[in-house]
């Protein structure tokens, strides 16, 4: 049976290694024949898929994130299924794992893989080749008008499956020029997260478990990217790279001589507890920026989000700590919690101003709060009348098509005026403090934006900043949450 992996187009810029599929491929038998089609780097991806899926019995494995990938994957899979009756389509990844019913009932999908896919895909392949039922552990299907699930599958550390098969892709296509370096590659060194924030879909998949690769394996992977493929920068796409201080320090010490710059995601309260020597080791090794979920400037909102006791004071302290060590903190906010959205927004924007006052180099990313189906805030969302679509056509229609991008969330409690207040503030913020990650913005453009935004930032008059919007549009200002680094 021929196996085809498909990574639907998701990015406007910064092509990243399709690690979700390359890592799943490690679970296949050594003699398995597989091909990867990446819509992010192949202009003729659809033509290749049409040709590959017309070759008799084919297993098509598709990874799907909400937003752009979903919009691409639905029509393509429906077309391929209609053209090729023998084609068997499996969707996996974030969106199918969180919304399996909406996916499984679609005519373009035969099976949903929930959570980690290495062992699941291998068992599905074996079942199909043996003529057996492919509804194995870790999968779901639509049968008899209802969602039927296989037994849950336990998660494993990624390192259990061996190294990433880089040789199966053209690595030159993924050597990205970013603010970190001229040849930036991405890597994933752990799965899950040890925390239970009730707005985060990672909890749906891993339920508070964090499974890290050993530090020695991480060091070996970075050295391979550096030595074999010329990497001078690495982005760690772990949900929580910095969950274990000792591992962080061992990785930092192990990659210091590579001379690579690096980026990762971490918890504010966790890294506040790191020893000064660990911070120094990470900075020496090339740590340039850390993405932190600040989430809100309101302690009450943080408690509603089950942020594990995180306080606004912690965010302010971490901002100063990172500054002292020469590491840029990148703070993410999700604004407009169901409990009291006006208070949440007001206090969060106040916190942003304090963070920028204390450390102008800190990066700020603003999202709108979008609930996930977990106890807590989702209960409040349901009480206020919020319901997710039950099929993929619903997810492709407004306003849901952009819901999980967390930019235009149409939640029942968010007014258009409050959303506009956030967007206007963001325009002024990004003009007064242009992101360091926009590598295409010239120095004189940055200076002009700062100068033009200074009066608004100083006075707090951020409403209708049309003059700043015009400048940002004219120069194609790149927000990192949309365009990458």
pLDDT digits over 270-316, tens only?
999 999 999 999 999 999 999 999 999 999 999 988 898 999 999 99
Cβ(112)–Cβ(136) below 8 Å: no
Judge if 205 and 127 occupy the same domain.
no
Judge if 192 and 335 occupy the same domain.
yes
Residue 98: closest CA among 316, 404, 401, 353: 404
Judge if 256 and 120 occupy the same domain.
no
pLDDT given at position 121: 96
Picking from 414, 439, 468, the residue at the C-terminal end of a domain is: 414
More confident residue, 206 or 175: 175
Q: For residues 211, 178, 484 and 204, what is the CA-based torsion angle, rounded to 10 degrees?
A: 0
pTM recorded for the entire structure: 0.93
pLDDT given at position 13: 65
* Two structure tokens written together for 466: 């049309």
pLDDT given at position 207: 82
Picking from 414, 431, 455, the residue at the C-terminal end of a domain is: 414
- In percent, how much of the chain has pLDDT > 70? 96
pLDDT given at position 259: 94
Q: What is the CATH number of the domain that holds 188?
A: 3.20.20.70
- 1 HSE (CA, 13 A, CB side): 23
pLDDT at 265 over 80: yes
Total number of domains constituting the chain: 2
Cβ count near 402 (within 10 Å): 16
pLDDT given at position 380: 77
Residue with tokens 């990938």: 69
Helices and strands in the chain: count of H runs, count of E runs: 20, 15
* Residue 63, domain member (yes or no): yes
Q: Which residues contact 286 (CB under 8 A, 6 or more apart)?
A: 233, 255, 256, 258, 259, 260, 261, 262
| Average pLDDT value for residue range 116-139 | 96
Cβ(97)–Cβ(114) below 8 Å: yes
* Residue 360, domain member (yes or no): yes
What residues make up the domain containing 273?
175-414
Alpha-carbon gap, residue 476 to 449, rounded angstroms: 13
| Average pLDDT value for residue range 35-60 | 93
* Two structure tokens written together for 174: 């993924």
| Average pLDDT value for residue range 205-231 | 94
Q: Which helix (H) or strand (E) holds 69?
A: helix 68-83
Backbone angles phi, psi at 483, to 5 degrees: -110, 0
Q: Which is it for strands 190-192 and 210-212: parallel, antiparallel or unpaired?
A: antiparallel
* Residue 192, domain member (yes or no): yes
Judge if 100 and 191 occupy the same domain.
no
* Residue 131, domain member (yes or no): yes
**With the C-alpha atoms ordered 443, 468, 364, 395, is the resulting torsion angle positive or negative?**
negative
pLDDT at 232 over 90: yes
* Residue 442, domain member (yes or no): no
pLDDT given at position 205: 81
Q: What is the CATH number of the domain that holds 127?
A: 3.40.50.2300
User: pLDDT category, 322, cuts 50, 70, 90?
Assistant: very high
What pLDDT, in 10s, does the model give residues 467-484? 999 999 999 888 776 655
More confident residue, 413 or 102: 102
Helix (H, G, I), strand (E, B) or coil at 149: strand
* Two structure tokens written together for 407: 């930019």
Residue 96: closest CA among 119, 75, 115: 115
| Average pLDDT value for residue range 134-149 | 96
* Residue 475, domain member (yes or no): no
Q: What share of the chain is helix, strand, coil (3-state, %, to 5)?
A: 45, 15, 40
pLDDT given at position 445: 95
* Residue 266, domain member (yes or no): yes
pLDDT given at position 4: 97
Judge if 83 and 192 occupy the same domain.
no
More confident residue, 401 or 67: 67
Residue 294: closest CA among 276, 274, 319, 273: 319
Picking from 398, 414, 430, the residue at the C-terminal end of a domain is: 414
User: What mean pLDDT is reported for the chain?
Assistant: 92
């Amino acid at each position: 049976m021929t196996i085809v992996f498909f990574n639907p187009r998701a990015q406007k810029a910064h092509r990243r290694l399709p690690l979700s599929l390359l890592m799943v491929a490690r679970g296949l038998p050594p003699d398995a024949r597989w091909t990867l089609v990446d819509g992010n780097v192949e202009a003729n991806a659809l033509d290749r898929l049409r040709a590959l899926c017309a070759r008799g019995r084919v297993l098509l494995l598709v990874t799907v994130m909400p937003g752009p990938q979903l919009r691409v994957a639905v029509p393509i899979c429906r077309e391929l299924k209609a053209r090729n009756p023998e084609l068997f389509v499996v969707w996996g990844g974030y969106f199918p794992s969180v919304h399996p019913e909406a996916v499984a009932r679609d005519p373009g999908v035969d099976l949903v893989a929930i959570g980690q896919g290495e062992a699941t895909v291998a068992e599905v392949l074996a079942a199909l080749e043996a003529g057996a039922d492919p509804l194995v552990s870790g999968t779901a299907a639509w049968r008899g008008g209802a969602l039927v699930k296989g037994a849950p599958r336990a998660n494993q550390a990624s390192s259990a499956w061996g190294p990433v098969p880089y040789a199966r892709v053209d690595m030159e296509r993924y050597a990205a020029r970013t603010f970190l370096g001229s040849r930036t590659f991405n890597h994933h060194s752990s799965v899950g997260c040890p925390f239970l924030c009730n707005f985060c879909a990672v909890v749906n998949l891993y339920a508070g478990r964090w499974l890290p690769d050993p530090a020695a394996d991480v060091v070996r992977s970075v050295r391979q990217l550096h030595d074999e493929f010329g990497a001078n920068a690495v982005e760690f796409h772990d949900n929580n790279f910095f969950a274990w201080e000792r591992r962080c320090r061992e990785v930092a010490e192990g990659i210091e001589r590579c001379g690579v710059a690096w980026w990762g995601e971490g918890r504010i309260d966790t890294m506040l507890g790191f020893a000064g020597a660990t911070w120094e080791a990470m900075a020496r090794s090339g740590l340039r920026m850390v993405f932190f979920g600040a989430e809100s400037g309101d302690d009450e909102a943080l408690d509603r989000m089950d942020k594990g006791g995180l306080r606004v004071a912690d965010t302010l302290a971490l901002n100063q700590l990172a500054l002292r060590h020469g590491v840029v903190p990148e703070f993410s906010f999700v604004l407009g919690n169901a409990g009291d959205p006006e208070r949440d927004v007001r206090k969060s924007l106040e916190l942003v101003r304090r963070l920028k006052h204390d450390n102008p180099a800190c990066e700020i990313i603003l999202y709108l709060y979008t609930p996930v189906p977990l106890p807590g805030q989702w209960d409040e969302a349901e009480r206020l009348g919020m319901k997710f679509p039950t099929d993929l056509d619903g997810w492709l229609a407004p306003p849901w098509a952009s819901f999980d991008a967390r930019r235009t969330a149409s939640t029942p409690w968010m007014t258009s005026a409050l959303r506009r207040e956030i967007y206007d503030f963001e325009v002024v913020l990004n003009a007064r403090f242009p992101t360091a990650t926009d590598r295409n913005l010239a120095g004189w453009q940055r200076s002009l934006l700062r100068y033009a935004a200074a009066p608004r930032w100083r006075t707090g008059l951020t409403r209708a900043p049309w003059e700043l919007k015009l400048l940002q549009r004219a120069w194609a200002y790149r927000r990192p949450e949309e365009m990458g680094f």
